[in-house]
Amino acid sequence: MSESLLDRPHLEAVARMFGVLAEPTRLEILQRLKDGPCSVTELVEDMGAKQANVSKQLGILYDAGLVSRERQGNVVCYSISEPMVFEMCRLVCGKLQRDAEEQAEAMKKLAAAQTTEKRRR
């Protein structure tokens, strides 16, 4: 497979992974697991979410290979199995930060132009 061009099956796999990461609850779960393994109960309490929803989202993350699970007695604990998700989030957050800075600068220039225009009147 060429590094520059992906064939259709690989593009679909990439799209599926982005789809898994496109749900805010899943991102919150990943963010909370960054500090270490958690049980479903701990995640439900920390997030204030419903147990059924957290379990469903964990299942999707597990099926995608992003989290692993380990039984500890009667409790199943989840942990990050693919830390690259944090690098992806860092890249996306960096882009959002740059966009916000550009927008703030544009607003600042617009405000300055409006102030200058008012003074001319």
Tokens of 52: 């059924």
Question: The pTM is what?
Answer: 0.79
Cβ neighbors of 2 (< 8 A, separation 6 or more) are none
Tokens at 4, concatenated: 């520059």
Q: Count other C-beta atoms under 10 Å from residue 57's C-beta.
A: 23
Per-residue confidence (pLDDT) for residue 3, from 0 to 100: 66
How far apart are alpha carbons 2 and 93 in whole angstroms? 28
Full pLDDT tens readout for the chain, 121 residues: 446 899 999 999 999 999 999 999 999 999 999 999 999 999 999 999 999 999 999 999 999 999 999 998 999 999 999 999 889 888 888 988 999 999 999 999 888 888 887 777 7
How many angstroms separate the Cα of 59 from the Cα of each of 16, 30, 77? 15, 12, 12
If you search the block for the tokens 């692993």, which residue do you land on?
68
Tokens of 8: 């259709």
Orientation angle between helical segments 24-33 and 84-120, nearest 10 degrees: 120
Q: What is the pLDDT at residue 43? A: 97
